[in-house]
Amino acid sequence: MALRAAYLALHRRSDAAFAARGVTADQFVLLATLARGHALTQRELARRMSSDPSTVRAMLVLMERQGLVERDVHPTDARARTVALTPKGKRAFRQLWAAGEPIRQQMIAVLDPDEADTLARLLTRVTAGLSPESVPADSLDLSHPPEDNQ
């Protein structure tokens, strides 16, 4: 119950911070996941986000209309689609990252310096232990911005 309460508090604060920019907390996670690498298939994106593929697809349709992401046919699998951030999406992500910084700082401020790393490691282990497919640890780490790929 404590984990759910912490998640909901973070989610609500993030939604409020991102609302002025027309993005939800879940859409921020999608942008952050894409910002961590090259184009991903929609299936891989959903897996890395630990989200339902149909929910991710609905977000992608909306975000594609906003010009934040682009979807293309996969180069070797005609049934799959790849997803990548557009230049507008990269700019939006950087702005959202900055907007979320006060929330991350407030969250970390209640922990001792080594507790934040310990908490992140423990949550990653819990996720891996409960997930049918392993989720890459770097896709769960939002403690620092991903490397800028361009």
Say which DSSP state 141 is in: -
Beta-bridge partners for 40? 83
Please report which confidence band the pLDDT of residue 37 belongs to, taking 50, 70 and 90 as the band edges.
confident
pTM, to two decimals: 0.82
Q: What is the pLDDT of residue 73?
A: 84
Residue 123 φ/ψ, nearest 5 degrees: -65, -35
What are 95's two structure tokens?
């702005």
Read off the pLDDT of each residue in 63-82 and give the average, rounded to a whole number: 89
The pLDDT tens digits of the residues spanning 90-117 come to 999 999 999 999 999 999 999 998 999 9
**pLDDT over threshold 50, residue 150:** no
Q: Do residues 74 and 81 touch, judged by C-beta distance below 8 A?
A: yes
Q: What is the pLDDT of residue 137?
A: 55
Read off the pLDDT of each residue in 41-69 and give the average, rounded to a whole number: 92
Element (H, E) at 58: helix 53-65
Q: What is the pLDDT of residue 40?
A: 87
Mean pLDDT of all residues belonging to the chain? 87
Task: Give the CA angle between residues 22, 51, 31 to the nearest 5°.
Answer: 40
What are 98's two structure tokens?
């900055």
Read off the pLDDT of each residue in 119-139 and give the average, rounded to a whole number: 77
User: What Rg do the C-alpha atoms of the chain give, in angstroms?
Assistant: 16
Read off the pLDDT of each residue in 8-33 and give the average, rounded to a whole number: 94
Read off the pLDDT of each residue in 50-58 and give the average, rounded to a whole number: 91
